[in-house]
Structure 1
Amino acid sequence: YETTPASGSEATSPSTPLTVQWLLDNYETAEGVSLPRSTLYCHYLLHCQEQKLEPVNAASFGKLIRSVFMGLRTRRLGTRGNSKYHYYGLRIKASSSLVRLMEDQQHLAMRQQPFSQKQRLKPVQKVEGITNGMSSGSGQQQQQQSSGLSDISTQVQQYQQFLDASRALPEFPDVDLQGSALPEGIELEHLKSFQLLYREHCEAILDVMVNLQFPLVETLWKTFWRFSESQAGDSTTLAVHDESEKRLPKSCLVLLCKYDPVLRWSRDCDNTLYQGLVEMLIPDVLRPIPSALTQAIRNFAKSLESWLTNAMMNIPEEMVRVKVTSASAFAQTLRRYTSLNHLAQAARAVLQNTAQINQMLSDLNRVDFANVQEQASWVCRCEDRVVQRLEQDFKLTLQQQNSLEQWAAWLDGVVSQILKPYQTSTAFPKAAKLFLLKWSFYSSMVIRDLTLRSAASFGSFHLIRLLYDEYMYYLIEHRVAQAKGETPIAVMGEVQTHTQATNQNLTNQLKNKNIKNTLNL
C-alpha cells in the first residue's frame, strides 16, 4: 500500500505506515463476527491523537482498511431505523488494549440507560417535576424513543474526547425589574419559583446534551411549558403537571411570560445556556469530529426550532418569540460550526499535499493583483500597501506549507492587525463587519481571475477560499461579541431580531399598500 498509494493527500501522509502497523496489531479477520464501521474509525482517531498524527477522513480510512484486510465485506446491521454499517469478518484481537476500551463503553452504556437515570437525572426528577420530562408520553413511545436514542448516547465515552464535558452552567442573575410593578396576580414568590424552575430546566438540558441524548431536549421543553397532546392528557403527564402546579401554577406561568423583565431575563439565560452548549459540543472548530457525532449535532439543529415551537403551543406569543429567536441563533451556529469543521478537514488534505501547494503557488503568481487592486479599490478603498502586504504574506505562508492551525493563526493575526485602530472605539462592530465585506470582495476577485485563466488549482483555491471566508466570519463574530460584552449567540440573536423586524415592516407596508389600492379601486 505504501509503494502504490491511492490518490489524495492520505497516500503521502506520514501516518500511513504507523496506521497500517496499528491495524495489524489490533485487528484480525475472523468468520461470523462484525465490527461497527463508526467504532473502528473512532478507534483510529484515538490512535491519531495519541501518536500526534493528522487523521484522514472516514472514506479514505475505509480504503486503507480494505487494502490491509483484503476481501473485507460491509453489511448494514441492526433494527430498522436504528441500523448502521459494520465491517463483516473483522474483530479486535484479544491481546489488544482496545478490548478494555470496548468493555468500558458497554459498561458506561448500561449505567447511562436510560438518560443516566440512576445517577445524574434522578435528583433532578425529584426536585423538578416539570423539567426532566422522562414520564411524558405513553410507555410504548418511551420504549421507541429509548431504542432510537441508544445509537449515539451509548457511545458517549467514545466521543467524550471531542466534547468539553467539564463545562458547567454559569450562575444566572436575578430578574432585573427596573422599577416595573409585578403583573396583577403575581407575587414575588412566583417570580422566584420561575427563576428556580428555569435554572433547573437549563441544567437538565445541559445534562441531556452532555450525554448526547439530543431528542430528549424536546421532552424537557414540553414538560416545562406544560404541553399535553390532549386536554385530558395521560395519568403520568398529569402527575408531572400537578407537581408543576404546586411550585408554579400555569396561570402564573402565563402571566410571567408576558412580563418584560422576565422576557429579557429568559433571553439572557438562553443565550448563556446556548453559548455554553456550543462550546461544549464544538470546543475547537478546526479539530476533526467523528462523522456520527457531526450528523447527530446537525440533525438536532435541524429539529430544535420546530420542537420548541410545538412545545410552546399554548404559551403567550411574546415569550415564544424570545425563545425561538435564541433557539434559531443556536441552531444556525451549530450548522455553521459543523460546516466550518467539515471544510477544515477537507482543506487539510490540500494543505498537506506538496504537489497541490506548488500548483497553487504557480497559478497564484500568474494572477494580475495590480488589476485586482485597481478594480477592488474603487469599491473597497483599501490602502495599496495593506493589500500588497496581505498578498505577500499569503504567498509566503502558502510556500512554507503551513498546517491548518498555522493558517488559522495567520488569519487571526490579519483580523487583529486590521481592526487594531478600532479596538477601544464604539465603531468597532461596524469596522469589523466592513472588513468582512472587503475580505469577501477581494477573495472573490482573485477567484474570478483564477477562473478566467482556467487555473489547474482552481478547485483547491475554491475550497480554501470557502474555508477562510467561513473562518473569518467566525473570528469577526467573536471579536464583535467581545467588544459588545455579549456572547456570540446573543450577537446572532440580534441579527435574527433585526431581520424579523425588517421583514415585518415590509409585510406591513405591503399590506397597507394593498389596502390603499383596494380602497382607490
Structure 2
Amino acid sequence: MLGSSSGGAAGNSQNYSHTARASPATVQWLLDNYETAEGVSLPRSTLYCHYLLHCQEQKLEPVNAASFGKLIRSVFMGLRTRRLGTRGNSKYHYYGLRIKAGSSLLRLMEDQQHLAMRQQPFSQKQRLKPVHKVEGMTNGTASGAGQQQQQQQGSGHVDISTQVQQYQQFLDASRALPEFPDIDLQGKSLPEGIELEHIKSFQLLYREHCEAILDVMVNLQFTLVETLWKTFWRFSQSQAGDAALAVHDESEKRLPKSCLVLLCKYEPVLRWSRDCDNSLYQGLVEILIPDVLRPIPSALTQAIRNFAKSLESWLTNAMMNIPEEMVRIKVTSANAFAQTLRRYTSLNHLAQAARAVLQNTAQINQMLSDLNRVDFANVQEQASWVCRCEDRVVQRLEQDFKLTLQQQNSLEQWAAWLDGVVSQVLKPYQHSPAFPKAAKLFLLKWSFYSSMVIRDLTLRSAASFGSFHLIRLLYDEYMYYLIEHRVAQAKGETPIAVMGEFASLGRGLNQLDPDKGTSILYRDCTISQTN
C-alpha cells in the first residue's frame, strides 16, 4: 500500500544511495517536491523534464531517462507504470506519485495545463507587458534564473522559459505526439548480434526520447534539447568514462551501446527513425507557430530562430560516436525542421509589417492609383510568352486583386483569397500524380508574373512602390507556404518530410530513396530580419 507522504521513501536511503550519478542534491530534490499517494499519477516524460530543469539550475550532469527512471523507483518504492490517455494521445505515467502541495513545481504544471487548454482567439486576449521581475518556475531562486538568462543572452540564446506563461497564448500545446508504427523489417535479416528484443527496446527508448523533447519544447526549454540528444546517443567526451558507467546505466541494460551502434546501420531502423523524426518535428512546428499570420512576440520569435540556428551543431556534436548512416538521416530531418522554423518566422515577420500597410487607407488609395497605371497588356504579353499564362486566368486574377485592394480587406481576408487562387488553379490536378509538378509550376508562374508587375511599377517610379514590394514579398512567401502544404497533402506526407526529402537529394545524403525526384522547390527566406 502506498502511503500519503514520502517518509517511507526517506527511510530507504540505502536502496538508492548507490544509484549511478545520482547526487545527494537530486535525491533531496525528489523528496522535497514529490510524494507517493493513491489514485494519482504523473507523466513520466514530464517528471524527467522537471529533473532536467533541476540539473540545469544546479549545474549537474543529467542522467538519461532510463537511469532517471531507475532512480525514481529506488526513491519511491512500489511505483507502477501505466499508459494513460486515448489512443494517439497517451503517455506513460508513474501511477501513485504526485507533486507536493508546497512545491514550486505546481506552478510549472499549471502553466502546462494552461498551454494545453488555450482556446481563446488572439483578438480576445490581452497583450502582456514585459515582466521585470523573473519568477522562478522550479526550485531555483529568481536571482539564479536571472543570472542564467544573462549568460544565455551573452551566448546568443535568450532563455524565455521562465516567462512561459507570457507566451502561452501564442503556442498550441494541445497537440500530442502521434503514435509511432512498429519498425518494418521488410524481410531483411537482423544484423549479427541483434535480436528482436533489441529492436523493441530501441523503439521504446526512442519514443520516450521524443516525448521528452516534446515536453521541453512546450516549456520553451530549447537549450535542453541538446542535453536530451546527448543522453540518448550516450555522448561522452571520455570513452573510458563511458565504459566505467555502463554497468550502472539503466539504458545500457535495456539496449547496450554496441547494439545501438549496430542498429544505426540497419536500413529498416534508419527509415523508421527518419519517419518518426518527421512526425515529431512537424508537431513541434505546429506547436510553436500554429498560425503563421498571427503576431508573435519578438522575444519568442528570436528564441525560435536562435534555436533553429543551433540545431545542426548540437545534433552532430551529440552523435559524434554514432555511425554516419544514422547521423545523415538525423541531420537531414533536423535541417528541414530548422529551415521550416526560419521560413515561418520570417513569413510571420513579413505578415506583421504588411498588416500595417493594409490597414492604412491613404496607402491603399495610392496603391490603387499606381496599379491602374500599370501596362497589364504588356505584362501579360511577356508573361504569356515565358510562362504560357492563360489570358482569362490572368485577367481574372488582376480584377480580383484590384477589387480586394479596393475593399481594404484585412490580412486574413487576403490570405483566404490567395488560398482560393491556389485551389482554383490546381483543381484540375486534384488526385492526380501530376499534382506536385503542376503546383510547383504554378508557383514559378506566380513569381514571374508578380515580378513583371513590380518591374513596371519600378520603371514608373510609383509612389507606392515600397508598399507593393512588401506586399509582393509577403504574398510570394505565403503562396510558397500554401503550395508546400498542398504538395505534402497530395503525397500523403508532412511538409517537414517533403522538405527533408529535397534537402537530402540536394546534399547527396539520401541513400534510402535514390530514385525519388525532387518533391518541391527549396529555398530559404531572404528577409531582412535580425538573426
Matches of 2:422 and 2:370 in 1, distance apart?
A: 26
Indicate which of 214, 220, 227 corresponds to 2:228: 220
Using a 3 Å threshold, how does the CA distance of structure 1 residues 460 and 275 change in structure 2: closer, same or farther? Answer: same
1:91-240 correspondence to structure 2 within 5 Å? 106=135, 109-111=136-138, 148=152, 151-233=159-241, 238=245
Please state how far the C-alpha of 1:231 moved relative to its aligned partner.
2.7
SS class of match (1:402): coil
Separation (CA, whole Å) in 2 of partners of 1:238 and 1:470 = 50
Cα contact 1:164–1:280 (8 A) shared by 2:
yes
2:276 to 263, 269, 279: 269
Q: Tell me the CA shift for residue 146 of structure 1.
A: 11
Q: Report whether the alignment pairs 1:306 with 2:333.
A: no
The AA in structure 2 aligned to 1:440 is S
The amino acid across from 1:369 in the alignment is F
Structure 1 counterpart of 2:469? 462
CA distance in 2, matches of 1:345, 1:180: 52
Aligned to 1:374: 381
Counterpart of 1:485 in structure 2: which amino acid? G
TM-score norm. by structure 1 comes to 0.70
Which residue among 433, 449, 466 is the counterpart of 2:456? 449
Q: 1:423 aligns with which of 430, 452, 470?
A: 430
Tell me the matched-pair count. 385
Gaps of 5+ in 2: 1-119, 512-531
Contact residue 162 and residue 282 of structure 1 kept, 8 A: yes
Q: SS state of the match for residue 435, structure 1?
A: helix
Q: 1:252 to 1:49 in 2, by over 3 A?
A: closer
Contact 2:436–2:490 (Cα < 8 Å) also in 1: yes
CA gap of 1:387–1:194, structure 2 versus 1, over 3 A, is same
CA RMSD of aligned residues (A): 2.9
Q: 1:451 to 1:254 in 2, by over 3 A?
A: same
- Preserved contact between residue 279 and residue 494 of structure 2 (Cα < 8 Å): yes
Distance 1:458 1:395 in 2: 16
Q: Which one-letter code corresponds to 2:342 in the other structure? A: R
Partners in 1 of 2:266 and 2:189 — Cα distance? Answer: 10
Write the distance in 2 (CA, Å) between the matches of 1:382 and 1:48. 39
Deviations 1:349-389 (A, max 9, x none): 00000000000000000000000010111110011000000
CA contact 2:368–2:405 (8 Å) conserved in 1: yes
Taking a change above 3 Å as real, the CA distance of residues 254 and 420 of structure 1, as seen in their structure-2 partners, is same
> Shift of the alpha carbon at 1:166?
1.4
**What is the CA–CA distance in structure 1 between the aligned matches of 2:216 and 2:158, rounded to whole Å?**
13
Offset, 1:51: 5.1
C-alpha displacement at 1:295, in angstroms? 0.3
Which ranges in structure 1 are unaligned for 5 or more consecutive residues?
A: 1-46, 62-83, 87-101, 115-139, 505-521
Pick the aligned partner of 1:387 from 381, 385, 394. Answer: 394
Give the C-alpha shift of residue 110 in structure 1.
3.0
TM-score (norm: length of structure 2): 0.68
Percent of pairs with identical residues: 88
Specify which structure has the higher proportion of helix: 1
Q: Secondary structure at the match of 2:239?
A: coil
Alpha-carbon distance between aligned partners in 2 of 1:408 and 1:443, rounded to the nearest angstrom = 16
Show the counterpart of 1:317: 324
Give the alignment partner of residue 495 of structure 1, picking from 494, 498, 502: 502
2:42 maps to: none
Structure 2 counterpart of 1:328:
335
Q: 3-state DSSP class of the match of 2:444?
A: helix
Q: Distance in 1 between matches of 2:131 and 2:164?
A: 19
CA positional deviation for 1:247: 1.0
Distance 1:199 1:241 in 2: 22
CA distance in 1, matches of 2:510, 2:260: 30
CA distance in 2, matches of 1:394, 1:305: 41
